[in-house]
Structure 1
Amino acid sequence: MDRLSNTVRPYAWGSTTAIPEFLGTPPTGEPQAELWMGAHPGAPSTLVRDGGERALTDVIAADPEGELGPETVRAFGPRLPFLLKLLAAASPLSLQVHPDLAQAREGFADEEARGVPVNAPERNYKDANHKPELICALTDFDGLCGFRRAREAAELLAALDVDALKPYVDILRASPESDALREVLTAVLTADPDEIADTVTRAASAAARLAGGADGAGNHAYAVCTSLAEHYPGDPGVIAAMLLNHVRLRPGEALYLGAGVPHAYLSGLGVEIMANSDNVLRCGLTPKHVDVPELLRIVRFEPGEPAVLRPLPGPGAEERYEVPIDEFRLSRFVFDPADPTDSAGPFAPRPLESRTPQILLCTEGRVVLHAADGAEPELALERGQSAYVRAGERVTATGDGTLFRATVAV
């Protein structure tokens, strides 16, 4: 067991208060968007080994099989295949999608062959990996995820009564759903910049009037439109967002975001886990590069309600968020000594054995980790503190709080 020291990333959309309050540290006045826990080369966690502080990347590189386990190395190579984050959004992130594994490999190889510098602003693929991700809410958490039904999007746009949007309404009402969504998104993202900026302004003004109406899906959609236009005036992503589902997660609920699903986080605090990749293709709500042809190749135009995940009970009182990939698994343990329904007993230790590496994050109260053989001193985690456990280590946990567990499923 190793206590981790982690880096906070100060992206502009981050909250100035949420992460400091969570960690019990004074705010700096600057945005604090993400706390990274893992071995991403951009900001690896550090730990104390052999009397000195070392980056987790270096620890793993020195003994990949000993740290990750042979199964993880065979499946994903000599690196930790996931990155765990604490994410605090005070304003909307960019509207984006991620490629699947085959698309990432193809896109990365193409840009490498064409000599596009990896740090170039027009570069789409920073690596050859996919980037599925899961966000689990710690507070109420708002986001956009996947396409609405085409007719629902048509009604929302029609109610705005903006002349420039009426051709989109007709397409959404008349064409097959997937074709209609593709055609409208393409038209929005390739429109004349001045014309679409004027359309966004008019749409936002109409949405502001409609947002105060009766509660319901339309109300939320218009409120989101108004907010996005305030943060990104004139951005075509404001109209694109009207095609997407608005989702509000309650604490403990989660969203899994697979390849090709357009999404954007809007506000809230959550635990996020993802495959260790930087591949992002943006649709809007950003001053960064938007590669429309490549984006349209990646997006999956599949309308429908997003599936909100709730943890499923597992052995040893572990609650698991089921996802269809192997790079990561996220689960949690809720320790409540006052819970009379706890069949394991309110103070029973929870086993955390795994053949793969683990990162453990305390999000509430206090949790104590114990080496199962008693050879090491116990390690106490308060809210916001985390630990790394190498593959094969036998650990148990007790306490009065909530512990999130990130590991590999191989």
Structure 2
Amino acid sequence: METRSSPKLRRLRCSVQKYDWGRRGAESRVAKLFALNSGAEADPDRPYAEFWMGTHGSGPSFLLPAGCGNGGHKVSPDVTLKAWISSNPDVLGDKVVDEWGCDLPFLFKELKQVLCDVPEIAELVGSTDVEKFIKLGEQEVEKAKCLLQSIFTKLMSASADIVALAVSQIKSRLELEGQVRPLTDKEQLVLRLEKQYPADVGVISAFFLNYVRLNPGEALYLGANEPHAYVSGECIECMATSDNVVRAGLTPKTKDIQTLCSMLTYKQGFPDILKGVPLKTYITRYIPPFDEFEVDRCVLPKGSSAVFSAVLGPSIFLVTDGEGTINVGSVKQDVVAEGYVLFVPANVEIHVTSVTELHVYRAGVNDRFLKSRELENGKKSQI
């Protein structure tokens, strides 16, 4: 497929993460997007977990060389997006450079009843803290956090043999109870996890977490130091660029229990489900309370058009379904299709037209932050 690129846009070849929890090649949407994006064949026997778009060192994106959709602008075959941005910082916009330097700040990768209903937890961690926690009043938030940290630390620090026994007891009890009553969604989840990760402490940890099912078009955000795990399905994830990952369970990778238990927030409650804010026809914006990023979702019916207004910071565009064209102003159009990833500099308006139904996601620096910085700089210049 021949494409003609605007000099403003840079098509990217991105990286894939083959974590053990990913879906196998033939079943993985991540593998399909990676194959379409890179031209490499997916290994049907390997797990494909995450398709990374950004400047993270563990999964960098590369600019495609001339003749691959960069409008004739010569680019060496192995130039990373991060290196190219470092040489062209103007593409980020002044506000982003001032705050984060020459890099992208984003990477486009109730409990009391539970403790009563799961006796194996009290047996494992000891009944004293559990009984204190159950007796707490609703206003004793800080005491609850301290006790919850103590309970969770004892759980995570338990020996492998003790954990394996507790998991086995939970499994046996739930299988028996499932014959006389419907199991809850979380109880069914625990049995599913036990099949995948037998004797893993993460199976028990699931009782401490919310079980959230998202419908298409819904999103949620997680703050720093809040544990999470993807159970099934595929999604678009955006996060602040960071290497600060501490694992708890449900993985063969190294776990840092002491750091994990000391860093968690131990907040209780159910996360907010974001429906998104209608930005304009066909475009919905998801705005977390973080400066580093926001995400736009665009679903274009066949033969329709949409405009992504120019913003003060850089963006990455991902096409997950369909085929269409993208152009900048009067510049000739780029043909785009499933698996295409584009870097868009600051202050560039993008026009998108669909040939078939087209699904496009945009990740960029939070517009609220950019506008607040612009306002601050405007006030300073008036003084």
Q: 1:41 and 2:57 equivalent?
A: yes
Q: 1:72 and 2:72 equivalent?
A: no
Percent of aligned pairs with the same amino acid: 31
Per the alignment, in what secondary structure is the counterpart of residue 297 of structure 1? helix
2:197 counterpart residue number: 232
Tell me, which stretches of 5 or more residues in structure 2 are unaligned?
A: 1-8, 137-142, 371-383
Query: Which amino acid is the alignment partner of residue 18 of structure 1?
Result: S
Per the alignment, in what secondary structure is the counterpart of residue 268 of structure 1? coil
Q: 1:398 and 2:365 equivalent?
A: no
In structure 1, what is the Cα distance between the partners aligned to 2:360 and 2:121? Answer: 49
1:77 Cα offset (Å):
1.3
Q: 1:327 and 2:350 equivalent?
A: no
Query: Which amino acid is the alignment partner of residue 171 of structure 2?
Result: A
What is the CA deviation profile of residues 195-219 of structure 1, one whole-angstrom value per residue up to 9, with x for unaligned ones? 222112211222334456655xx52
Aligned residue among 174, 198, 211 for 2:135: 174
Verify the 8 A CA contact 1:150 1:180 in the aligned structure 2.
no
Query: Which amino acid is the alignment partner of residue 104 of structure 2?
Result: L
Aligned residue among 148, 154, 158 for 1:187: 154
1:206 counterpart residue number: 173
Q: 1:60 and 2:68 equivalent?
A: no
Query: Which amino acid is the alignment partner of residue 62 of structure 1?
Result: S
Per the alignment, in what secondary structure is the counterpart of residue 11 of structure 1? coil
1:3 Cα offset (Å):
1.8
Aligned residue among 324, 328, 336 for 1:381: 336
1:348 Cα offset (Å):
4.2
Judging changes above 3 Å, is the alpha-carbon distance between structure 1 residues 213 and 184 closer, same or farther for their aligned structure 2 residues?
A: farther
Q: Name which of structure 1's ranges 235-244 and 323-332 shifts more when overlaid on structure 2.
A: 235-244
Per the alignment, in what secondary structure is the counterpart of residue 175 of structure 2? helix
Per the alignment, in what secondary structure is the counterpart of residue 198 of structure 2? coil
Q: Name which of structure 1's ranges 48-57 and 28-37 shifts more when overlaid on structure 2.
A: 48-57
Aligned residue among 277, 301, 315 for 2:266: 301
2:118 counterpart residue number: 157
Query: Which amino acid is the alignment partner of residue 74 of structure 2?
Result: G
TM-score, with length taken from structure 1: 0.74
In structure 1, what is the Cα distance between the partners aligned to 2:178 and 2:284? Answer: 37
1:111-126 to structure 2, matched below 5 A, reads none
Q: 1:278 and 2:278 equivalent?
A: no
Aligned residue among 10, 16, 19 for 2:18: 10
Count residues with an aligned counterpart.
Answer: 333
1:27 Cα offset (Å):
4.2
What is the CA deviation profile of residues 275-329 of structure 1, one whole-angstrom value per residue up to 9, with x for unaligned ones? 1111012222234333333223211111111211111112454311120011111
What is the CA deviation profile of residues 44-97 of structure 1, one whole-angstrom value per residue up to 9, with x for unaligned ones? 212236323332122111122x12111111111110111113xxxxxxxxxxxx
Judging changes above 3 Å, is the alpha-carbon distance between structure 1 residues 238 and 161 closer, same or farther for their aligned structure 2 residues?
A: closer
Judging changes above 3 Å, is the alpha-carbon distance between structure 1 residues 301 and 162 closer, same or farther for their aligned structure 2 residues?
A: closer
In structure 2, what is the Cα distance between the partners aligned to 1:172 and 1:207? Answer: 24
In structure 2, what is the Cα distance between the partners aligned to 1:275 and 1:62? Answer: 22
Query: Which amino acid is the alignment partner of residue 35 of structure 1?
Result: F
In structure 1, what is the Cα distance between the partners aligned to 2:343 and 2:177? Answer: 49
1:161 Cα offset (Å):
9.7
Verify the 8 A CA contact 1:312 1:319 in the aligned structure 2.
yes
In structure 1, what is the Cα distance between the partners aligned to 2:253 and 2:19? Answer: 14
Verify the 8 A CA contact 1:208 1:222 in the aligned structure 2.
no
1:252 Cα offset (Å):
1.5
In structure 1, what is the Cα distance between the partners aligned to 2:180 and 2:28? Answer: 31
Per the alignment, in what secondary structure is the counterpart of residue 246 of structure 1? coil
How much is the aligned-residue C-alpha RMSD, in angstroms? 2.5
Query: Which amino acid is the alignment partner of residue 28 of structure 2?
Result: A
In structure 2, what is the Cα distance between the partners aligned to 1:212 and 1:257? Answer: 36
Per the alignment, in what secondary structure is the counterpart of residue 48 of structure 2? coil
Judging changes above 3 Å, is the alpha-carbon distance between structure 1 residues 212 and 314 closer, same or farther for their aligned structure 2 residues?
A: farther
What is the CA deviation profile of residues 304-360 of structure 1, one whole-angstrom value per residue up to 9, with x for unaligned ones? 1121111111245431112001111101122125xxxxxxxx734413312211111
Per the alignment, in what secondary structure is the counterpart of residue 107 of structure 2? strand
1:166 Cα offset (Å):
7.3
1:169 Cα offset (Å):
5.2
1:192 Cα offset (Å):
3.1
Query: Which amino acid is the alignment partner of residue 283 of structure 1?
Result: A
Q: 1:351 and 2:308 equivalent?
A: yes
TM-score, with length taken from structure 2: 0.79
2:374 counterpart residue number: none
Verify the 8 A CA contact 2:20 2:251 in the aligned structure 1.
no
The runs of at least 4 aligned residues of structure 1 exceeding 6 Å deviation read: none
Q: Which has the larger Rg?
A: 2
Tell me, which stretches of 5 or more residues in structure 1 are unaligned?
A: 86-148, 338-345
In structure 2, what is the Cα distance between the partners aligned to 1:166 and 1:154? Answer: 12
